[in-house]
Amino acid sequence: MLGLAKNLTVSQSGGRWYASIQTEREVESPVATATATVGIDLGIARLATLSDGRFVEPLNSFKRHAKRLARYQRAMSRKIKFSSNWRKAKAKVQRVHTRIGHARRDYLHKTTTTISKNHAMVCIEDLRVRNLSKSAKGTVEANGKNVRAKSALNKSILDQGWFEFRRQLEYKLNWSGGYLVVVSPQNTSRTCPVCACVSRENRRSQAHFKCVDCGYSNNADVVGAINILARGHRVLACEEEGSSSSRKTRVKPASVKQEPSEATLHELAHA
């Protein structure tokens, strides 16, 4: 253990015990060894699409365990609340939730570690996950629209872990001496990166982009990532205002340093 131990937290979750140790030590300001820059567009069909055309497939941890979780939840609902059998059934449900969370965090750690090690600057959109995943049920007086479709979308957004992806990128880039630039998401997937034409008609479908002005064609997520990177460069050059959370300075360091997993992006090998 490096440094002076300052705090120890013992917790229990899903039938397992965990110890978290916080230490304090002096470290030199890190200097980035990587020189590449990249823009990243987060999505549902693809967890992350990079501006160089590579992408990362989503893990869909909750979706993989949804049937088993539903079965255990039905079994728990048939038990007398707070009885011995109910507690046993509840423990099974909690273990599934724990497995889902662990798988998601592990996958995000492997992905963000590889990105932060290979890039000195990463640009992403300032996505408000809480707003994006709001329910569409509406009120008694004004019923919502496309409630079922919006519910499925909300589950997919939360299953991808967009907020955790950004959080991990922030502190890992700080460790490696890199920068995270957060930009406004407005029209990133509707702007042509060649002629700068902005039109709703540019994005013909969820995956296909074709400019109505110059005819430039590409995957819509790749176009979004290219525009995000270009916007990040403009923010750093003070030619454009970024989001409220973006800064030209390096992101704040995390209070506790966790050792990242050593792994490569599975999908980057297929570039």
Note whether 19 and 9 are within 8 A (CB).
yes
22's CB contacts (< 8 A; 6+ apart) are: 5, 6, 7, 8, 9, 255, 256
Out of 26, 28, 52, 125, which one is annotated catalytic? 125
- Whose CA is closest to 229, among 52, 110, 56? 52
Instruction: For the beta carbon of residue 24, count every other beta carbon within 10 angstroms.
Output: 12
213 is a catalytic site residue: no
Nearest-angstrom CA–CA distance, 180 and 11: 31
126 is a catalytic site residue: no
The amino acid sitting at 189 is S
**Measured torsion, CA atoms of residues 173, 175, 179, 182, in degrees rounded to the nearest 10:** 50
Q: Dump the DSSP string for 204-263.
A: -SSSEEE-TTT--EEEHHHHHHHHHHHHHHHHHTTSS---TT--SSPPPPPSSPPPPP--
User: Which three-class secondary structure state does DSSP give residue 40?
Assistant: strand
24 is a catalytic site residue: no
Out of 24, 26, 28, 41, which one is annotated catalytic? 41
Out of 57, 141, 170, 221, which one is annotated catalytic? 221
So which residues are the catalytic ones?
41, 125, 221
